[in-house]
Amino acid sequence: MSQDSFQNPARETAGGLLRIDLGALARNWRAVKARASEGARVGAVVKAEAYGLGAAPVSAALYGAGCRDFFVAHLIEAQRLRPSLPAEARLILLNGFAPGGAAACFEAGTIPALNSLEQVAEWSAQARGRGRELEAFLQLDTGMSRLGLSPAEAEILTREPERLTGIRLLYVMSHLACADEPENPQNAFQLAEMKRLAALFPHLPISFANSGGVLLGPDWHGALLRPGLALYGGRTTRDREIPVEPVVRLDLRVIQLRSVRAGAKVGYGGVFTAPGETRLAVLSAGYADGLPRSLEGRGAVWFGGTRLPLAGRVSMDSMIVDVTALPPGALKPGDLVEMIGPNQSLEAVAAAAGTINYEILTGLGGRLHRDYASD
């Protein structure tokens, strides 16, 4: 959460401590840059509060590493982030603007991705109304059927170039649907579509690859890469990997310890029954903090190298773990246990919850204390 829009809970009392290593973040950006095609720019996708880590501090660290192109999805994100970005930094609005939103987009100092002919018309009218040229990215749909002009609409633009009056297009861009699956034939299909459609705009450079696309190879890179997940230390594919370091560590606070007898029911629904004398710790974080209910039966935390399995359901504000494996007295209220860290990766938590690392990261809530280390 950005520090100006949300108050950071105090470290000593917060239910969880999210440590964000800005040094590792900058090294990850450089690792992507080292893999990118010669001369290509590497941007940073900082939408959804930089995947839950805080768009302002993350962007400042990446700017320091040399990044100049920042991507957000929603206008509110651009409005929050722009004031903290240096003037030379470009801020691109991936979702474009809603109907009637061109003026607000301009006033937010943001370059829109134009995703439809309607948006092209509105941005052109905005430029003419202001008597100046306005920059934009042109997004094309190459096979995801999400955002961007269809091939037929792209062709209309080449036949009727006056529709672009007042617009200075910087890039043609498109997004890969299956970049995390290198063997998926959709990658080659989208590349062929991109080449065919980009040929309609021969003077424009291409922006194509996300994190997964970096590994697909230079053909998919284009002149401006748009990694998100890899910067935050997320693994993007199973087999091949960009050498990225973990950026996030999440520890949760113990707020109560108790012993229960065999047969005691634990948590909502009483779905966990103590098999014998059982020692439990109650942690002060739950699904409202982004730890999914689907961790039930599979999730765990760690303390001093010992795995402590979840007992019963995740509550909104707390969860209960079985600490019988620890010596009595090893844990006391106020202690922290590891949810994401050296013993348990972000990917392991996502797998236990039956989801993906993206969803775990972006769900991490505003009640966690965010601590930025830059080593």
Ligand X SMILES: *Cc1c(COP(=O)(O)O)cnc(C)c1O
Residues with a catalytic annotation lie at 47, 268
Report the nearest approach of ligand X to the CB of residue 214 (Å).
8
Nearest residue to ligand X, by Cβ distance, number only: 228
| 296 phi/psi in degrees, rounded to 5 | -50, 130
Minimum CB distance to ligand X smaller for 225 or for 250:
225
Which residue among 79, 124, 210, 284 contacts ligand X (CB under 6 A)? Answer: 210
Which of positions 156-195 make contact with ligand X (CB under 6 A)?
175
Euclidean distance between CA atoms 245 and 23, whole angstroms: 10
Minimum CB distance to ligand X smaller for 221 or for 253:
221
Which of positions 227-246 make contact with ligand X (CB under 6 A)?
227-230
Pairing outcome for strands 248-260 and 336-340: antiparallel
Minimum CB distance to ligand X smaller for 70 or for 272:
70
Which pair of structure tokens corresponds to residue 345? 């990766």
Minimum CB distance to ligand X smaller for 3 or for 362:
362
Give the N- to C-terminal CA distance of the chain in Å, as an integer.
Answer: 21
**Selected range binding ligand X among 182-190, 191-199, 223-231, 332-340, rule: CB under 6 A:** 223-231
Interface characters, 82-121, with ligand X (x: CB under 6 A): ------------x---------------------------
Pairing outcome for strands 300-303 and 111-114: unpaired
Q: What is the dihedral sign for C-alpha 148, 153, 159, 165?
A: negative
- The residue with tokens 């269809």 is 150
Which of positions 21-60 make contact with ligand X (CB under 6 A)?
45, 47
**Selected range binding ligand X among 221-229, 300-308, 323-331, 346-354, rule: CB under 6 A:** 221-229
Report the nearest approach of ligand X to the CB of residue 167 (Å).
19
Report the nearest approach of ligand X to the CB of residue 311 (Å).
34
Report the nearest approach of ligand X to the CB of residue 272 (Å).
35
Report the nearest approach of ligand X to the CB of residue 238 (Å).
15
Euclidean distance between CA atoms 375 and 361, whole angstroms: 22
Number of amino acids touching ligand X (CB under 6 A): 12
Euclidean distance between CA atoms 354 and 22, whole angstroms: 28
Angle, in degrees to the nearest 10, between helices 22-35 and 55-65: 50
Euclidean distance between CA atoms 228 and 28, whole angstroms: 10
Q: Are 29 and 44 in contact (CB under 8 A)?
A: yes
Minimum CB distance to ligand X smaller for 45 or for 120:
45
**Selected range binding ligand X among 164-172, 226-234, 256-264, 318-326, rule: CB under 6 A:** 226-234
- Helices (H) and strands (E) counted in the chain, each on its own, are 11, 19
Report the nearest approach of ligand X to the CB of residue 235 (Å).
11
Residue 250 bridge partners (DSSP): 18, 340
Euclidean distance between CA atoms 64 and 53, whole angstroms: 17
Which residue ranges make up the site for ligand X (CB under 6 A)?
Answer: 45, 47, 94, 175, 210-212, 226-230
